[in-house]
Amino acid sequence: MRSRSTFRPIILTGLLGLAIYGVLKPDATNRASVSATDIYVVDGDTLRFDDEPIRLTGFNTPETRRAECDSERDAGFAAKERLQELLSNAVEIYLEVRLNSSGVPVRDKYRRQIARLILDGTDVADILIPEGHAESYDGGARRNWCGS
């Protein structure tokens, strides 16, 4: 029969494994079917839904409000208009809000929920990026849309 001191490292290793899994396990999502009329497009990568600000993930578009130059502002409004057009023509619209391990929506530094917008089975990132309205983005440094 083993002593208690022999089991202590096994128990500690197991608890450490559970703690690591809790931190490293992937976020879940909450997928909901929504109506285009319930979505307000703030700009090319930000929405308001159910009075909640939502940052679309996987891409970044030029700014409209805090643009550094006129060409960025123009490109930002073009991205916003394209997203509005895509929404108005979509038959099936889903928002996939990212949830943490406790089931609470993940928020960015501006307190916006993080989500993917799926239109007729396609993530809007996969439409806006190839069209030149957006760049792939997963955090970090952003592109300078003013050309310098």
Residue with tokens 């993917």: 116
**Which pLDDT value is given to residue 5?**
53
d(CA 45, CA 135): 11
pLDDT tens digits, residue range 60-85? 999 999 889 999 999 999 999 999 99
DSSP state of 26: P
Above 50 in pLDDT, residue 136? yes
pLDDT tens digits, residue range 1-57? 555 555 455 555 554 555 545 554 556 878 899 999 999 999 999 999 999 999 999
DSSP 81-123: HHHHHHHHH-SSEEEEEEE-TTSPBPB-TTSPEEEEEEETTEE
More confident residue, 133 or 22: 133
Measure the CA dihedral 77/81/82/86, to 10°.
Answer: 150
Which DSSP helix (H) or strand (E) runs through 58?
Answer: strand 58-60
DSSP state of 64: S
Question: What's the whole-number mean pLDDT along residues 114-123?
Answer: 97
Question: What's the whole-number mean pLDDT along residues 89-108?
Answer: 94
Residue among 63, 74, 54 nearest 124 (CA): 54
**Which pLDDT value is given to residue 24?**
47
**Which pLDDT value is given to residue 37?**
93
d(CA 96, CA 46): 14
The model's pTM = 0.78
Pairing of the two strands 93-99 and 46-49: unpaired
More confident residue, 102 or 139: 102
Two tokens, residue 132: 């030149």
Above 90 in pLDDT, residue 140? no
Letter string b/e over residues 46-75, b meaning 16 or more CB atoms within 10 A of that residue's CB: bbebeeebbbbbbbbbbbbeebeeeebbeb
User: What are the chain's domains?
Assistant: 27-137 (2.40.50.90)
d(CA 136, CA 125): 8
Confidence of residue 145 (pLDDT cuts 50, 70, 90): confident
